[in-house]
């Protein structure tokens, strides 16, 4: 499974990219607003740090406006993936951008039916939002299971499932068990994947025992 980080904080991305774990980045208008920076400057800096897709989202709501904004965002870098909403106009824009050779992330997906339409429209990835479904008492991961099942029935569908609105590490684990292609996670969740209290206590015990030996691996005094 591929990992994207969901943030527009360039310094966070710079630090996380040093691990070699990042396959891409997703941003949205809310994250850009939080950064208090120009969207094109932010996307350009992120693209310099990450080799994989970097999602930049349109703000227009009509087909022509989305296509125009999408083309402008894609001018920043070849690896900018244009994000459009899963609306009727967004599907039209997806098709046009896809035919122009531009990768498209169809976002705000909340049903398997929507996901199939996005795939048929040529989406590179479709982004179902599991956390927001959980928030209203529905099972977000059940949606991922349904989309995976449907996509696997039709091998001609090449759209990848990008699980979004991830709130905690269990969302990532469940998505991986179902077979989602990508998870986009907030920085704090990505870091949480590497932590476990037994790792911390085990390391502490090893170091205490090593200290008692008086040895130094580098031979320094």
Residues with active-site annotation? 83
d(CA 46, CA 54): 7
**Beta pairing partners, 57:** 83
Of the candidates 142, 113, 144, 139, the one whose C-alpha atom is nearest the C-alpha of residue 128 is 144
Host H or E run for residue 105: strand 104-109
Q: What are phi and psi of 212, to 5 degrees?
A: -70, -25
Q: Answer yes or no: are the C-beta atoms of 59 and 85 closer than 8 Å.
A: no
Evaluate whether 92 touches 99 at the Cβ level (below 8 Å).
Answer: no
H-assigned helices in 80-139: 88-99, 112-120, 130-135
Q: What is residue 108's three-state secondary structure?
A: strand
Closest C-alpha among 63, 49, 117 to residue 92: 63
Tokens representing 167 are 């709130």
Tokens of 147: 């989309």
């Amino acid at each position: 499974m591929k990992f994207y980080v969901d943030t527009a904080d360039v310094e966070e991305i710079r630090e996380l990219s040093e691990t070699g774990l990042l396959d891409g980045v997703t941003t949205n208008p809310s994250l850009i607003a939080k950064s208090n920076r120009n969207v094109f400057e932010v996307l350009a800096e992120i693209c310099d740090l990450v080799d994989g897709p970097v999602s930049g989202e349109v703000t227009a709501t009509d087909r022509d406006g989305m296509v125009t904004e999408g083309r402008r965002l894609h001018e920043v870098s070849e690896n900018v993936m244009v994000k459009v909403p899963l609306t009727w106009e967004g599907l039209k824009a997806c098709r046009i951008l896809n035919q122009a050779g531009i990768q498209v992330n169809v976002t705000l997906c909340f049903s398997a039916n929507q996901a199939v339409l996005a795939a048929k429209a040529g989406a590179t990835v479709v982004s179902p939002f599991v956390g927001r479904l959980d928030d209203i008492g529905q099972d977000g991961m059940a949606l991922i299971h349904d989309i995976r099942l449907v996509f696997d029935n039709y091998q001609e569908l090449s759209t990848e499932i990008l699980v979004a609105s991830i709130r905690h590490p269990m969302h990532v684990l469940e998505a991986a068990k179902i077979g989602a292609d990508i998870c986009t996670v907030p920085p704090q969740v990505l870091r949480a994947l590497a932590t476990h209290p037994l790792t911390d206590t085990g390391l502490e015990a090893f170091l205490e025992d090593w200290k008692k030996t008086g040895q130094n691996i580098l031979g320094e005094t």
